[in-house]
Amino acid sequence: QVQLVQSGVEVRKPGASVKVSCKASGYNFITSGISWVRQAPGQGLEWMGWIGLYNGHTDYAQKFQERVTMTTDTSTSTIYMELRSLRSDDTAVYYCASVKAGALSWFDPWGQGTLVTVSS
Amino acid sequence: QSVLTQPPSASGTPGQRVTISCSGSSSNIGSDYVYWYQHLPGSAPKLLIYSNNQRPSGVPDRFSGSKSGTSASLAISGLRSEDEAEYYCAAWDDSLSGVLFGGGTKLTVL
């Protein structure tokens, strides 16, 4: 059974960067990668991109192409999402989610979420 | 246009059947599977329906999904108070080369 545990609350000033972690356990060949999805206050879910667990291949949403980097540390089974040049509208809960092989919209399970607040 | 359109709200009384629609285009729903997620306040989203109409283990058969052309629907029968949540459809979009989520539908059980 795949389990995803994310890092804790982060507070940053505009222009700074944040790196959120997602530690995975119990995954097998069915899990091909990890996606990151965020939800800003009062808004819906927004896909940011995904990273392949076994080859490190990444696909980023066009909106975040210039500011996001997703990486994996295979030694600790931890996936990272770094977002740079933060703005106030990046304030959101950031989720990692397990992606099923061959189905990039299949997110199951999800991490518990990490609140990132961007404020001066 | 690469968007998935859902009604912002839906409601029903306990025991009723409600449906939530998700309208897309040939570049997303028309060419890929549709997924539905349930998001309860304070919790992580949960996969409710995959591959248009399949339920993961543990999801009650009160929940069902369907797809026709560039539209999809989620139906909830025998509505219960614990079904009160936000529901999102999702699909891969070929034009964007990314995953699209619908705007979400807030379901209220009256």
Q: What is the predicted pLDDT for the residue at A26?
A: 87
List pLDDT tens digits, range A12-66. Answer: 999 999 999 999 998 776 678 999 999 999 999 999 999 998 888 999 999 999 9
Q: Which residues of B touch A93 (CB under 8 A)?
A: none
Q: Compute the distance between CA of residue A103 and CA of residue B6 in angstroms, rounded to an integer.
A: 22
Q: What is the predicted pLDDT for the residue at B1?
A: 57
**Strands (DSSP E) found in chain B:** 9-12, 18-23, 35-39, 46-49, 63-68, 71-76, 85-93, 98-101, 105-109
Model confidence band, residue A3 (pLDDT cutoffs 50, 70, 90): very high
B103, closest residue in chain A (CA to CA): A44
List pLDDT tens digits, range B73-104. Answer: 999 999 999 999 999 999 999 999 999 999 99
Give the gap in angstroms from C-alpha A73 to the nearest C-alpha of chain B.
24
Of the listed ranges A24-28, A92-96, A115-119, B13-17, the least confidently predicted one is A24-28
* Out of A45, A104, A108, closest to residue B88 by CB: A45
Q: What is the predicted pLDDT for the residue at B41?
A: 87
Q: What is the predicted pLDDT for the residue at B2?
A: 64
Q: What is the predicted pLDDT for the residue at B90?
A: 98
Q: What is the predicted pLDDT for the residue at B78?
A: 97
A47, closest residue in chain B (CA to CA): B99
Q: Which residues of A touch B45 (CB under 8 A)?
A: 37, 45, 95, 97, 107, 110
Which of A34, A65, A105, A112 to probe by mutation at the B interface, max B CB count within 10 Å?
A105
Average pLDDT, chain A: 94
**Residue A29, amino acid:** F
Q: Compute the distance between CA of residue A17 and CA of residue A41 in angstroms, rounded to an integer.
A: 20
> Stretch A90-106: mean pLDDT, rounded?
94
Cβ contact B12:B38 at 8 Å? no
Identify the segments of chain B with pLDDT beneath 50: none
Neighbours of B65 (CB within 10 A): 23
* Out of B33, B39, B96, closest to residue A103 by CB: B33
Q: Can you spell out the DSSP letters for A66-79? A: TTEEEEEETTTTEE
